[in-house]
């Protein structure tokens, strides 16, 4: 009972981070959805599909910024590709990943956090490879911000153990080789 309450508390913290990141990027007028409702839905979706990992059943609970990035990766995947709302979710995800890249050493991250951030980073780069930049000048200014680089190196020679991550890695490599984008 107490564990479930703590999970709800932690997910509410993450939803607030997602909401704030979305609000930060809604000034462009591109995001016509309710940031609070989207944040709640995406965090709840992530919790529903990864309850053991996010709920602390492995002994540790992830930090709210890593859960927020993970939930935003669902949001960037949930919305219409190339649409304005997807762009805002993608930009918010980029802001979360940039925060981790810049200040990651200050956060008490554990293995679960690193896995969540790595998956969010993969989604960010997949979406950036297929994203068609918007016509709007404000959106174009947002997209010209430098993309975050989140160093989440795996052990040398050890590939991903999760088949979904291995599949994402293959898709990312294929997209990068076709588009000549980021190594």
Give yes or no for a contact between 85 and 135, defined as CB atoms under 8 angstroms apart: no
Distances (CA, A) of 36 to 17, 52, 97, 142, 148: 10, 24, 20, 21, 25
- pTM of the predicted model over 0.85: no
Q: How far from the centroid of its chain's Cα atoms is residue 148's Cα?
A: 12
Q: Where are the domains of the chain?
A: 2-179
> pLDDT tens for residues 154-165?
333 333 445 555
Residue that wins the pLDDT comparison between 23 and 183:
23
> pLDDT tens for residues 72-118?
998 888 776 667 788 888 889 999 999 999 999 999 999 999 999 99
Q: What is the mean pLDDT of the chain?
A: 76
pLDDT recorded at residue 142: 52
Q: How far apart are CA 106 and CA 100, in angstroms?
A: 9
């Amino acid at each position: 009972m107490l564990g479930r309450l703590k999970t709800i508390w932690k997910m509410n913290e993450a939803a607030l981070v997602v909401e704030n990141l979305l609000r930060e990027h809604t000034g462009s007028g591109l995001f016509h959805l309710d940031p609070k409702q989207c944040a709640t839905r995406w965090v709840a979706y992530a919790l529903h599909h990864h309850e053991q990992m996010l709920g602390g059943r492995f002994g540790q609970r992830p930090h709210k910024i890593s859960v927020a990035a993970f939930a935003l990766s669902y949001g960037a995947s949930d919305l219409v590709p190339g649409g304005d709302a997807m762009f805002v979710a993608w930009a918010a995800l980029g802001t979360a990943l940039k925060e981790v890249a810049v200040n990651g050493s200050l956060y008490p991250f554990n293995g679960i956090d690193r896995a969540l951030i790595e998956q969010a980073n993969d989604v960010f780069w997949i979406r950036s490879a297929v994203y068609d930049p918007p016509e709007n000048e404000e959106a174009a200014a947002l997209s010209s911000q430098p993309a975050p680089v989140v160093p989440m190196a795996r052990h040398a020679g050890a590939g991903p153990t999760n088949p979904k991550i291995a599949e994402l890695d293959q898709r990312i490599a294929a997209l990068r080789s076709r588009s000549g984008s980021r190594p």
